[in-house]
A and B are shown apart, each in its own frame.
Chain A
């Protein structure tokens, strides 16, 4: 009996139960406090729509976070890829928007990966420098936009990804791709191996530099998809400088934390998607209670820390990187 319970506690079903339990807990908490303006089926669909773009970015982030790396240039990539997509959409419509976002995002990932593996300095430092570079480039790109409303998607015929079903189709495709890569290719195994112990992975014959490079490329490919969803969602993008894009790193990262915390249950993709949904649920619940946004950020951050601590705390005496 104990063995069955113990096995269940290590299975993905337990992970799902835990995540759905958390979502249900927060839903019930806010529903009781604010029964009329929170948590109806229609509103839940709205919350999900808001959260999927961050979940796509969170999926990309997972590829490198699981290897112990970090990238501060995600926000800058979202800004630049979005602006390139908008610029190209003026000429080539949907093709320009989609390929502008995806290609620009992937190219930036290749560049980041190349510099990180060649310069041999911590990913945090490389990507902070790149964030500044990308922000500056974005400021120039927006000046190239001939439209009266630079950086904005003013043409109503190019807003399919702004709403259902196409935003869901794109996001679900990204989630399936992520699950496929992790489950059916050697990349997922290698990424985990590198994250667990890079030296052992190297000794086993894994080309660590190559897979770190691939990790950055995959991350930024997903960031390109997130850029497509984000620029469509807001109907435009604002070019920012002076590290202001950094704020965009953290919402996807929150989902990634869920993914890393629930990795042991073998369901990182679902954890990222449901985790982002829970974060959006909390945000909307607090707004329903008329809690100011500043307090909202505090509560969201604190809840995230508690969840990750409870689900992924290392054993006493273990080394935490």
Chain B
């Protein structure tokens, strides 16, 4: 038995050396190694992000290392340490709560490794200490994020304009920074609608949290609908896409497809069909390119092209795309799903842009923008 265990142990060690080929190559060719700390690289949104980043890494001849941290605070901070221990030259991170950034930035400073946030920004009012640390850090390059409040307002407006007056909300994780911003947007959207339409007011229910898997998403959506059979609409705030898959399954199983308008912020692979059959009313998304710009910022900091200020940081506000019909989605699918919105040549060109040019490129990304480049 001991002999068998020793053989098994040896096989595992040899296998791990085979898998470590990338790191060995880095030492000999001095390719930059950029880490990606992400909630999941396999869920709907995460896999799209990975696809985009892998294409950029290939075009720029960079090695990439992914660490999935599930948006669990201690694992988010540990992921930065893991990536640094693995020898990355820089890393991009999608944290869960801004409080985690103290540890993340300190890890970057201590190890002289560049870092940037994607899908996230540190709110200077809510998190002044973390913000001050980020501003003063010579290794915190910056952040790329969406205007989540505006996104929330827009989705509620779309729902209200479609005639929905009682709207339920399914989040994914209580306290998640992005969810809190989107929730603020939904509430503001309701306030705006009610101010403009005092005789036709809408109401938003308190959120219930469905996790990030489709079965928990379905169970929670069923519970919400069972408890509130008179809702017109359901906002599935996000969670990577799987929560939405489950919520749509719940609505279908209850025979309410087309009767409850669903909006969300993660594009599904079958969104076209969902829009056509009434499964979805509208969706904001396309933001899987957001991490690409954080990646480019860190890449340029490593290359010495971007000087990281110690009295501020670089910031890009990334635009959401809104899709509300099958036609909208077909155009999106052609330029964002079937092929990536940037090809290898465009990615190489992007890597040579100044920050202002990079920011402008991010802000103009749209279906029309991609068409104009092809």
Contacts and interface: CB of A to CB of B under 8 A. Distances in A.
B85 interface: no
B227 interface: yes
A107 to B, nearest CB: 17
Interface in B202-231: 205-209, 211-220, 222-224, 226-229
A139 B42 contact: yes
A240 interface: yes
Interface in B63-79: 68-70, 72, 75
B67 to A, nearest CB: 8
Nearest to B228: A37
Given A139-B42, A234-B218, A293-B220, A34 B75 contact: no
B242 interface: yes
Contact of A237 (B174, B206, B214, B223): B214
Contact of B269 (A37, A148, A283): A148
Nearest to A245: B213
Given A163-B253, A233-B249, A240 B214 contact: no
A43 B225 CA distance: 10
B40 interface: yes
Contacts of B229: 37
Interface stretch (A178-186, A254-262, A270-278, A284-292): A284-292
A237 B337 CA distance: 21
B253 A154 contact: no
Contacts of B69: 242
A290 B206 contact: yes
A191 B68 CA distance: 39
A152 B245 CA distance: 9
Contacts of B270: 149, 154
Contacts of B216: 234
A34 B213 contact: no
B1 interface: yes
Contact of A142 (B42, B72, B222): B42
A273 to B, nearest CB: 17
Given A150-B47, A292-B208, A234 B220 contact: no
B44 interface: yes
Contacts of A46: 222, 226, 254
A287 B223 contact: yes
* B5, B44, B337 — most chain A CB neighbours (10 Å): B44
B43 interface: yes
Contact of A242 (B70, B211, B214): B70
Interface string B35-75: 00000101110010000000000000000000011101001
Contacts of A290: 205-206, 227
Contacts of B222: 46, 50
Contact of A236 (B205, B211, B245): B245
A34 B40 contact: no
Contact of B70 (A148, A163, A244): A244
A154 B245 CA distance: 10
Contacts of A109: none
A240 B207 CA distance: 24
A2 interface: no
**Which of under 10, 10 to 19, 20 to 34, or 35 or more describes the interface residues of B?**
35 or more
A293 B174 contact: yes
Interface in B241-273: 242, 245-246, 248-249, 253-254, 268-270
Contact of A234 (B68, B228, B240, B245): B245
Contacts of A287: 208, 220, 223-224, 226-227
B24 to A, nearest CB: 21
A190 B66 CA distance: 47
Contacts of A236: 214, 242, 245
Contacts of B218: 233-235
A67 interface: no
A38 B222 CA distance: 12
Contacts of A50: 219, 222
Contacts of A47: 226
A162 interface: yes
B215 A43 contact: no
Contact of A149 (B44, B211, B224, B228): B44
A266 to B, nearest CB: 31
Given A241-B68, A292-B208, A234 B226 contact: no
B269 A149 contact: yes
A249 B174 CA distance: 21
A149 B249 CA distance: 15
A151 interface: yes
Interface in B330-362: 337
Contacts of A241: 68, 70
A67 to B, nearest CB: 23
Nearest to A236: B214
Contact of B213 (A119, A162, A238): A238
Contacts of A162: 249, 253
Contacts of A237: 213-215
Interface string A28-55: 0000001001100001001100100100
Nearest to B210: A293
A143 B51 CA distance: 12
Contacts of A131: none
Interface string A222-242: 000000001101111111111
Contacts of B205: 290
A247 B268 CA distance: 25
Nearest to B230: A37
Contacts of B242: 234, 236, 238
A48 to B, nearest CB: 12
A294 interface: yes
Sort A-B residue pairs by CB-CB distance and give the 9 closest, nearest first. A234-B214, A234-B215, A288-B227, A149-B269, A287-B223, A293-B209, A239-B42, A235-B249, A244-B70
Interface of B: 1, 5, 40, 42-44, 47, 68-70, 72, 75, 174, 205-209, 211-220, 222-224, 226-229, 240, 242, 245-246, 248-249, 253-254, 268-270, 337
